[in-house]
Amino acid sequence: MGSSKKERQKMIPILLLSFLGGTLGQQDKPNIILIVADDLGFNDVSWHNELVLTPNLDYLARSGIILEQHYSQPLCSPTRGAVLTGRYPINTGLHPGAIPPLTPAGMHTDVSTLGEKLRSANYSTHAIGKWH
């Protein structure tokens, strides 16, 4: 028998994909912001729990799309690889778990990422945060 719904929700990082309207004038393409938050529980955002105040995330959520019906991995590197490629970690080389510092290993180089696809569509891409 599997884990409870509450336990599964605790493991799910929230993915917030925001298509923001242009604030600097008319744009041909929407801005895309993808946020992956480790250990963020289902009730840790205000649209699921009114006792939690998350005004900045609320703004992004109201002006974008909330993606929260997906599978997550129990460790960060496999989760990030899956999000960035749309593939299961076993297909990216990240299935063993977190990559320790100075380890000469990582994601397979022949796997396309979301960033590569966006750049081919003339987007400017940036990654901010941790990867280990």
State the catalytic residues. Answer: 76, 132
Residue 107: closest CA among 129, 74, 130, 85: 85
What are the structure tokens assigned to 122, written together?
A: 């003339």
Q: Is the CB of residue 92 less than 8 Å from the CB of residue 84? A: no
What are the structure tokens assigned to 16, written together?
A: 């917030």
Q: Which helix (H) or strand (E) holds 66?
A: strand 65-67
Q: How far is CA 122 from the centre of its chain?
A: 21
SS3 content of the chain, % helix, strand, coil (to 5): 25, 10, 60
Residue 72: closest CA among 130, 8, 24: 8
